[in-house]
Amino acid sequence: MEDQFKKILSHAKEYGFVYPSSEIYEGLSAVYDYGPMGVELKNNIKNYWWKSMVQMHDNIVGIDAAIFMHPKTWKASGHVDAFNDPMIDNKDSNKRYRADVLVEEELAKTEGKIDKEVRKAQKRFGDDFDENQFRATNPRVLRYQEKIDAHQNQLNEAMKSNNMEGLKQLIIDLDITCPVSGSRNWTDVRQFNLMFSTQLGNIAGEESSLYLRPETAQGIFVNFLNVQKTTRQKIPFGIAQIGKAFRNEIVARQFIFRMREFEQMEMQYFIKPGTEMDWYEYWKETRLKWHKSLGTSSEHLRFHKHENLAHYANAAADIEYKFPFGFKELEGIHSRTDFDLGSHQKLSGKKLQYFDPEINESYVPYVLETSIGCDRMFLAMMSESLQEEKVPDSKGNETERTVMKLHPSLAPVKAAILPLVKNKEPLTNRARKIFDDLKLEFQCQYDEKDAIGRRYRRQDAIGTPYCITVDFETLEEDDKVTLRDRDSLGQRRITVEEAKAIVLKETNVSRIL
Ligand code: ATP
């Protein structure tokens, strides 16, 4: 798994997907830039999300709110008082950790021991093995599980009651050592606010203090009435937004999984109070289907129900993806009640209510949120698609290729136009003309450098679903080209028009909407 992660990191850099930010100055911790291939993939992810949310639902509309918001927004939302993570430092390594994550990682190690027992037993019993029964009855597994449950409860309690001493005690009880120094020389656990702050230029005093938004959702809440009135939407309806968010994360490792500047794709669905559990289930299923529609394996996706609920939620679940470093949150589905609209109404003194003509009553709507990190989705797509496989070369000998089997609608380049040889007129001229024609329809790349086999490999490595090869027969014959399929490696001799139609059809996002 670790190897796979290293491969993703070096692939991302080598092929222009992701670079460390300001790399010539040794980079900036947990900040990354997207390169030429990365920006295409990211735009395609955003495009698919936007279309499935906004275009496909006549009761969901989009907005693009500013990153800066009135500072009171963050008071009302609870972020000033409660958007904290518990932090602990190791005095020997001077490394900083999230105390809850240290505990969770320790518990995951015990879970790993259970999995090992299961695998051992599976080997021993073969086809007769009943995993559920084994997990429910094996004394060693039960002992491990009991330990995990007890410590998980302690963790949940400590987090819920803001008990920082309790959290430190748990770290001591579990005998957790610093992964860098190996020592148990810990500071106390302290709360750390994750919002970045800055100053407004022309105002002095407290009012001048601004925050970079830590989530895009609040831009939707404060615009709730504007949008509802201007679009005359009736409840239930949703507002969708894609935009940057900023969090001063304590531990920011794992590449683009946890960044200090990242992008969210959020949708707030305004509903009648009391209907939230139905909508919660509806959006959980809808969002899971969305992930599967891109070809992500069911085995790499799962729900994780929150026990320790955020201050605004009455139910919450994550869609977790099996990243190379284990199952982690990719998207959150949160039932946010009327917490946000209610608090903004109180602090601003402005009514944020909906008049429901069906019951002739006004109320503050409840909200169901789906929130997915664009960068995490990007990493999930890289993890899911990057493969090394053995394929026959042009002489039929076995060779290895690196290929990104991205869903065609997400691929940065949809088709590569390749003249068989370079600098050979009129062949290259004809290939250029085909490129100029096709680039009006979809993202193309023209490449004439190196042998054709190497050019195919380069396109495989960036996930291009189709290569269109132009050879001398194209000129002499009937304008036919060779269309090569990335996954099957099948080659078809067809006209340019037919090739265009296939690429358009297969890479069009509407096929999976
Ligand atoms: P985590 O528990 O991993 O810190 P979270 O529960 O704080 O995440 P939410 O507040 O629910 O995350 O944010 C919604 C989504 O935004 C997450 O599911 C994730 O995909 C994305 N996200 C949150 N924080 C980051 C980050 N630091 N870097 C990249 N994406 C992030």
> Which tokens belong to 460?
């495989």
- Helical ranges in 232-373 per DSSP H: 276-293, 339-348
| Centre of ligand 1 from the C-alpha of residue 47, in Å | 20
| Centre of ligand 1 from the C-alpha of residue 336, in Å | 16
| Predicted confidence (pLDDT) per residue in 376-396, tens digit | 999 999 999 999 999 887 788
> Which tokens belong to 81?
């008082």
**Three-state secondary structure of 334-382:** EEEECHHHHHHHHHHCCCCCEEECCCCEEECCEEEEEEEEHHHHHHHHH
Q: Does residue 319 line the site of ligand 1, with CB under 6 A?
A: no
CA separation for the pair 36, 59 (Å, rounded): 34
Q: Does residue 374 line the site of ligand 1, with CB under 6 A?
A: no
pLDDT for 181: 94
Cβ(419)–Cβ(429) below 8 Å? no
| Centre of ligand 1 from the C-alpha of residue 448, in Å | 42
| Predicted confidence (pLDDT) per residue in 138-156, tens digit | 999 999 999 999 999 999 9
Q: Which atom of ligand 1 is nearest to the CA of 376?
A: 20
Burial of 395 (0-12, 13-18, 19+ CB in 10 A): exposed
Mean pLDDT within 44-57: 98
Report the percent of the chain where pLDDT is more than 70. 99
Burial of 252 (0-12, 13-18, 19+ CB in 10 A): middle
CA end-to-end span of the chain, whole Å? 32
The pLDDT mean for the chain works out to 94
pTM over 0.85: yes
Confidence of residue 205 (pLDDT cuts 50, 70, 90): low
pLDDT for 1: 64
CA separation for the pair 297, 343 (Å, rounded): 40
Report the percent of the chain where pLDDT is more than 90. 86
Mean pLDDT within 294-320: 92
Which residue, among 487, 464, 329, 326, has the nearest Cα to 44 in the 3D structure?
A: 464
Q: Does residue 171 line the site of ligand 1, with CB under 6 A?
A: no
Q: Does residue 266 line the site of ligand 1, with CB under 6 A?
A: no
| Centre of ligand 1 from the C-alpha of residue 329, in Å | 7
Q: Which atom of ligand 1 is nearest to the CA of 247?
A: 27
Residue 475 carries which DSSP code? H
Confidence of residue 207 (pLDDT cuts 50, 70, 90): low
φ, ψ for residue 327, nearest 5 deg? -70, 125
Residue to substitute in 155, 195, 328, 329 for testing ligand 1 pocket (most ligand atoms within 8 angstroms of CB): 329
Tokens 């499935």 sit on residue = 52
Lowest mean pLDDT among 157-166, 241-250, 400-409: 157-166
Q: Does residue 465 line the site of ligand 1, with CB under 6 A?
A: no
